[in-house]
Every structure is written in C-alpha cells, then in structure tokens.
Amino acid sequence: MNRRTFMGVAATSLLASTQEGRAASPHPTSDSQSAPLRVRFLGTGAADWNGRDERGEHRRLSSVLLDGTVLIDYTHQAEDILPAGCRPATVFYTHSHGDHYNPADALRLGITNVYLSQTWYDTADAEFRRASRELNLPMPTIHPLCIGQRVQIGQLTISPLPANHATSHLMEQTLIYLVEKGPARLLYATDTGGIPATAARLSGIDAHQQGRPITALIMEATMGMDHEVDFRLFTHSSVKTVERTLQVLSETGRYRPQPGQSVYLTHMARTLHGTQAELDRQLPAPIRAAYDGLEVEFC
C-alpha cells in the first residue's frame, strides 16, 4: 500500500470511528463487579535521566504496564521492573522520541503487536524491519492508529488522543491515551503541554460536548514546580498545569475519582524536580509523584 492510498484509508477509518462513537451511547452500562484497572509505573522520568543521580535518586524512562498485559511506551530501562515472568505482547507508543520508543528493545521483549500514530507508520515500519533483520527476531504487526479510534485489547479499550508535543518528524501527531475498563476511565497524558482541545472533546471532558467524566488521571509534570518560565512550556506541563487541569475538571464534574484517590505525576525531569521524599512533602493533595515500581488500581 503506497503512502497516498494509506492516508486515504486512514482518513476513512477516522471518519468511521468518529461516526461509530457518536452513535454509541455516551453512558454504556458499567459492571460494578469488574476487576479494577491495574497500572504499574515502569518508569517515571523524563529524557534527562540515565541511571542513579548524585542525590541517589533513580527514575527510569516513562512507561506503564496495564493489567500486566499492555504497555504504553517501552525501553530496555523498564525490563528489570516488569513483574517476574511478565512478557507483554502489545505496546502502544505515544511518539517516536527515543526515551519512549525503541524497536530493538521491543523485539527483545517479544512484542508482537505495535500500535502508534498513522502519521509515522512508514518510519516505524522501516525501523522495526531493520531491527528485526539485525536481531533475527520476528517482525511484529504494526497497527496505524487514527485519532479517536477505539482499540479493544481483552477488557481494555484504548483510544489515542492528540498530544501537544513535537518530534523531529514534522508531520508526526504525538499521542496521549484514554484507557477504559468497566467504569474506570483513565486519561494517561505524557508527553504533552496541557490537554489539547480535541483530546478533551474526544474523551468527553470539554465544555461543549461533555460525556462520561474521567475517573483517573496520570499526567506528566516535566517542568516541576517554580519553573513556569521555561521553553518546555510549548511541549510539556508543570505541576501548576496539572493543578489547574485538576481544578477545572473537578469543579465542573468532569473528574470523578474514587474517594481518596490520587492524581499521579510522571515524566519528571531530573533537573527540575526534588527527590521523591521532597515531592511527597511538597505536592498539594491529591497530587502525588509516582515512582518506579508503584502499582495502583483504578475502579
């Protein structure tokens, strides 16, 4: 399939996905007995982390494991913190930056299904094919994603949404993800400068087309606290960004967590954040800094 034909198929798929979403009930029946959505943080650091720092802190590059079966982003740094015997077969990539995406690492893990934005499908397909030949490992299936497309993996429904971020591929649309399981609706937002309007609309939390509220939020805070005047403003978020997002969603009823549930920060820059102990003391409730190996459940 050539590039022009593929893009035409992608556009058609996006239209069909959007139409199906509108036809579906905005309040599907939820099973109160559903098992919770389990999220394990495999890494919580931004790209400037490379092993233990001078303070003794250690954050691997940001990625998560969903229900022990599906990854969002993956590099070899996370391998030692996977549960014993866990070999996920599926990965969803947010974007092509090397602290989130590495074909050789995915192949060594045994990944067989790769999901990523259709805007860089050709590049990823070529890179995976090259790595497959060099390592003599099976080539996975690369699934191109359109914005708003819903993908069912077991009990999980995963929807790609647009992020506010940029890579060296000028036309690449970076992604954040809405993850749904039973009544749980988790917005996983890294790397992104805030929540873009289209992402808010498709997830049902914008002002004009409100649907089901989200029940959980994991959001990047690359810029930390007291670093608001920073060039990363255009592609990343700060703790203040997360605070304001949380305030708006909470006060408008678009975020309805279980009692006592935290909002978790990830993708924290080494040079812009204090230690885990300092963050535990300084962050305003219910915001909490995640750490590598933390496992949480969302109902």
pLDDT greater than 60 at residue 264? yes
Q: Which residue has the tokens 């390592």?
A: 135
CATH superfamily of the domain spanning 36-298:
Ribonuclease Z/Hydroxyacylglutathione hydrolase-like (3.60.15.10)
Give the mean model confidence (pLDDT) for residues 179-189. 98
**pLDDT tens-digit series, residues 241-253:** 999 999 999 999 9
pLDDT greater than 50 at residue 86? yes
* Sign of the four-CA dihedral 267, 271, 276, 282: negative
For residue 35, the model assigns a pLDDT of 94
For residue 16, the model assigns a pLDDT of 33
**pLDDT tens-digit series, residues 272-281:** 999 999 999 9
Q: Where are the alpha helices (DSSP H) in the chain?
A: 3-23, 103-109, 121-135, 197-203, 239-251, 276-282
CA distances (Å), origin 278, targets 54, 57, 275, 293? 15, 11, 5, 18
Radius of gyration of the chain (CA): 18
Give the mean model confidence (pLDDT) for residues 182-201. 97
For residue 229, the model assigns a pLDDT of 74
CA dist 222 and 268 (Å) reads 4
Give the mean model confidence (pLDDT) for residues 140-152. 98
Q: Decide: 293 and 41 in contact? Cβ < 8 Å.
A: yes
Give the mean model confidence (pLDDT) for residues 8-33. 37
CA dist 101 and 27 (Å) reads 34
Q: Which residues contact 220 (CB under 8 A, 6 or more apart)?
A: 62, 189, 190, 191, 192, 236, 237, 265, 266, 267, 268
Give the mean model confidence (pLDDT) for residues 8-34. 38
Q: Which of 94, 4, 103, 84 is nearest to 40 (CA)?
A: 84
Give the mean model confidence (pLDDT) for residues 52-56. 94
For residue 142, the model assigns a pLDDT of 98
CA dist 260 and 136 (Å) reads 48
Q: What phi and psi, each to the nearest 5 degrees, are found at residue 11? A: -65, -40
Q: Which of 139, 80, 150 is nearest to 112 (CA)?
A: 139
pLDDT greater than 70 at residue 3? no
Q: Output 121 or 3, whichever has higher pLDDT.
A: 121
Strands 151-153 and 141-145: unpaired
Give the mean model confidence (pLDDT) for residues 113-130. 98
For residue 23, the model assigns a pLDDT of 27
Give the mean model confidence (pLDDT) for residues 204-225. 88
For residue 33, the model assigns a pLDDT of 60
pTM of the model: 0.88
Give the mean model confidence (pLDDT) for residues 158-170. 96
For residue 274, the model assigns a pLDDT of 94
CA distances (Å), origin 32, targets 29, 157, 184? 9, 17, 10
For residue 22, the model assigns a pLDDT of 28
Give the H/E segment covering residue 218.
strand 216-220
Q: Decide: 280 and 289 in contact? Cβ < 8 Å.
A: yes
Share of the chain above pLDDT 70, in %: 88
